[in-house]
């Protein structure tokens, strides 16, 4: 029998932002399958995710916060960490706003940057600070995008934020790798979630995207969940500042 213990999260307590749906839900369920318990951080009911996680025999609790409000979310994270050690943090929550660059508003810029980059960085800071202060190892997995590498169309703030997520991940890895905190990032390809509903409803965009994916299909949240487990588990002990594309081969094309 093969030894899968390097991929086990048994006994681990992991926080996942935006765990109520989409990729965050897929990550929560994958953590549960690997034996970990999950704390969902977000603003909407996570009852469905709780059901899926508990069906795997794992524990789930929800912690409500509007992640656009970084101060409140950080205070919540600090409370969670004071209650019991947190073995990992997955910064998954994110939003997108679409408009031509010539019409892009400051509101659409700020809203996306606040959730996707500003709160993400300060959550990483709060988590890393606690790990360092307690001398405990830690794991951070950030969720980036293909638009961390490419320009995209009509998504100025999203592209800027996701380029930023890659840079911040690398910076934190440089500062914390020797201190036992692994910081890595997943770059999902095109995944079937609310975030991509508009693209999938546009027959021309949908067809042209699918034609370019070597795997010949869109991704599903489970595809990202299993990659997140790898980056949270012992199997990736020596990975720092790495970006893992999970994109059906899109970037290889
Ligand atoms: P989604 O289904 O729209 O989920 C986004 C998640 O973020 C939801 O849980 C949402 O909660 C949460 N969220 C957004 N703003 C929030 C706020 N202010 N406070 C609390 N929670 C907030 O999209 P998804 O595709 O799963 O996206 C998850 C991550 O993957 C994002 O960072 C996204 O950029 C990234 N990504 C997605 C794709 C893709 O193809 N789907 C590709 C690359 C990267 P609510 O339901 O309450 O809004």
Report the distance separating Cα 231 and Cα 121, nearest Å: 18
Q: For 44, left (φ over 0), alpha (ψ -120 to 50), or beta?
A: beta
Average pLDDT over residues 107-131: 98
In a domain, 209, yes or no: no
Short-list 53, 62, 56, 49, CA closest to 20: 49
pLDDT digits (tens, 9 = 90+) for 50-88: 999 999 999 999 999 999 999 999 999 999 999 999 999
Q: Residue 62: beta bridge partners? A: 40
In a domain, 108, yes or no: yes
Q: What CATH code is carried by the domain that includes residue 169?
A: 3.40.50.720
Task: Provide residues with CB under 6 Å of ligand 1.
Answer: 18, 20-24, 42-44, 66-68, 92-95, 115, 143, 145, 188, 190-191, 193-196
> Using CA positions, which residue lies closest to atom 8 of ligand 1?
18
Number of domains in the chain: 1
Report the distance separating Cα 156 and Cα 152, nearest Å: 8
pLDDT at 183 over 60: yes
**Catalytic-residue membership of 190:** no
pLDDT at 181 over 80: yes
Q: What is the CA radius of gyration of the chain?
A: 17
pLDDT digits (tens, 9 = 90+) for 78-90: 999 999 999 999 9
Short-list 23, 18, 70, CA closest to 40: 18
In a domain, 99, yes or no: yes
Q: 138-173 in b/e burial notation, b at 16+ Cβ within 10 A?
A: bbbbbbbbbbbbeebeebbbbbbbbbbbbebbbebb
In a domain, 199, yes or no: no
pLDDT at 225 over 60: yes
In a domain, 195, yes or no: no
Average pLDDT over residues 201-223: 96
With bands split at pLDDT 50, 70 and 90, how would you rate the model's confidence at 3? confident
Q: What's the 68 CA to ligand 1 centre distance in angstroms?
A: 12
Domain limits for position 234: 13-188+221-247
Entry pTM: 0.98
In a domain, 157, yes or no: yes
Q: Which atom of ligand 1 is nearest to the CA of 44?
A: 47
Return the sign of the alpha-carbon dihedral for residues 108, 111, 112, 113: positive
In a domain, 208, yes or no: no
- Residue 4 has what pLDDT? 80
Instruction: Tell me whether strands 13-17 and 243-246 are parallel, antiparallel or unpaired.
Output: unpaired
Chain mean pLDDT for the chain: 97
Report the distance separating Cα 88 and Cα 181, nearest Å: 9
Residue with tokens 């508990």: 54
pLDDT at 1 over 60: no
In a domain, 196, yes or no: no
For residues 36 and 60, is the Cβ–Cβ distance under 8 A?
no
* HEC letters along 45-104: CCHHHHHHHHHCCCCEEEEECCCCCHHHHHHHHHHHHHHCCCCEEEECCCCCCCCCHHHC
């Amino acid at each position: 029998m093969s030894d899968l213990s390097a991929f086990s999260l048994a006994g681990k307590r992991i926080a996942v932002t935006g765990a109520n749906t989409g990729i965050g839900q897929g990550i929560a369920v994958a953590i549960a399958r690997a034996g970990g318990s999950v704390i969902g951080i977000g603003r909407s009911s996570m009852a469905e995710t709780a059901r899926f996680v508990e069906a795997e025999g794992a524990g789930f609790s929800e912690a409500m916060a509007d992640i656009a409000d970084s101060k409140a979310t950080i205070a919540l994270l600090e409370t969670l960490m004071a209650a019991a050690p947190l073995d990992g943090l997955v910064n998954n929550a994110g939003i997108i706003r679409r408009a031509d660059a010539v019409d892009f508003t400051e509101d659409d810029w700020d809203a996306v940057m606040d959730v996707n980059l500003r709160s993400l960085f300060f959550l990483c800071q709060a988590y890393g600070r606690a790990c360092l202060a307690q001398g405990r190892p830690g794991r951070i997995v950030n969720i980036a995008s293909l638009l961390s590498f490419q320009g995209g169309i009509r998504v100025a703030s999203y592209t800027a934020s996701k380029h930023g997520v890659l840079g911040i991940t690398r910076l934190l890895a440089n500062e914390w790798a020797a201190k036992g905190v692994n910081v890595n990032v997943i770059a999902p390809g095109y995944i079937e979630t609310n975030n991509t509903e508009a693209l999938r409803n546009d027959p021309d965009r949908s067809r042209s995207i699918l034609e370019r994916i070597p795997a010949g299909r869109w991704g599903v949240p489970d595809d990202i969940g299993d990659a997140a487990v790898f980056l949270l588990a012992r199997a990736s002990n020596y990975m720092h500042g790495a970006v893992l594309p999970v994109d059906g081969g899109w970037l290889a094309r």
